[in-house]
Amino acid sequence: MRPFQKTFLLIHIILAFNNIILAQPIPKQSIKNIINGKTWTPSLMNSENSQLFLNSLNLKGQVQMQSTIYQNVILGYDLEQDEILATIKTRNNTKRIIALNKSELEEFKFSKAGQDFHFKRGDLIHENLNENTYYQVTITNGLVYVIHRKLIKILRQKTSKYTFKSANNIYIIQKGLIHPIRNRRDLLKIYTNNSSEIKKFIQQNKLKINPKHPMDIIPVVLKYDS
């Protein structure tokens, strides 16, 4: 076999091997492999409440980065600085909290008190959502319920301390269209066929349909769109 023929054959073997690798299932990796990201520091120490989602840096779950899933990650979500945090061990066996690189982080999940939380980067949910932030998603057969969680800091004049105030936005994505949900009326526009039944369900369960109480919509979409 001539030299150029050997080279040509070798290239084909390499390409075939790469295609086999790309076709493999997504591997589940150890948190030890997550090393990217800057060191996280709170934006304010002089505050009356927490800038962290669920007030916690110890939410055990998983992350997906560049199509690779990492299990048993200790997570936190800084809602004021919009940073997703992971607690890692350094080479000298000390713990460090890092803000994960958004260009690589695609989604993350965890559970707390029996409630599941699933966040995805905006561009992976809908083309009109922000590719630089993450949205909590609940996916049913016919729609995607989306929560954009945000805290803003406000200075209290009497105490000279800051407090963090909720500034959420909530949406329903149906047939490719994004519908902002501000109140019960907006939600019932999605369910025109059984709006009276849903009204009764909301009243019976004392649900508050607005961005301040974003989890209250989840029982509705799970019951009437699952």
How does DSSP assign 145-199, residue by residue? EEEE--EEEEEETTTTEEEEEE--EEEEEETTEEEE--SHHHHHHHT-TTHHHHH
pLDDT score of 88? 83
165-219 pLDDT, tens digit per residue, is 999 999 999 999 999 999 999 999 999 889 999 999 999 999 999 999 999 999 9
10-34 pLDDT, tens digit per residue, is 334 333 334 333 323 334 454 544 5
> What is d(CA 57, CA 76) in angstroms, rounded to the nearest whole number?
4
Q: Give residues with Cβ within 8 angstroms of 45, minimum separation 6.
A: none
Binned at pLDDT 50, 70 and 90, residue 45 comes out as low
The mean per-residue pLDDT over the stretch 65-93 comes to: 90
Give yes or no for a contact between 47 and 164, defined as CB atoms under 8 angstroms apart: yes
The mean per-residue pLDDT over the stretch 21-49 comes to: 58
pLDDT score of 22? 32
Give yes or no for a contact between 168 and 148, defined as CB atoms under 8 angstroms apart: yes
Q: Give residues with Cβ within 8 angstroms of 84, minimum separation 6.
A: 63, 75, 76, 77, 78, 99, 100, 102, 105, 108, 119, 134
**3 burial class (0-12, 13-18, 19+ CB within 10 angstroms)?**
exposed
**pLDDT, greater one: 55 or 28:** 55
Whether residue 104 has pLDDT greater than 80:
yes
Whether residue 161 has pLDDT greater than 90:
no
pLDDT score of 24? 31
pLDDT score of 6? 42
pLDDT score of 44? 67
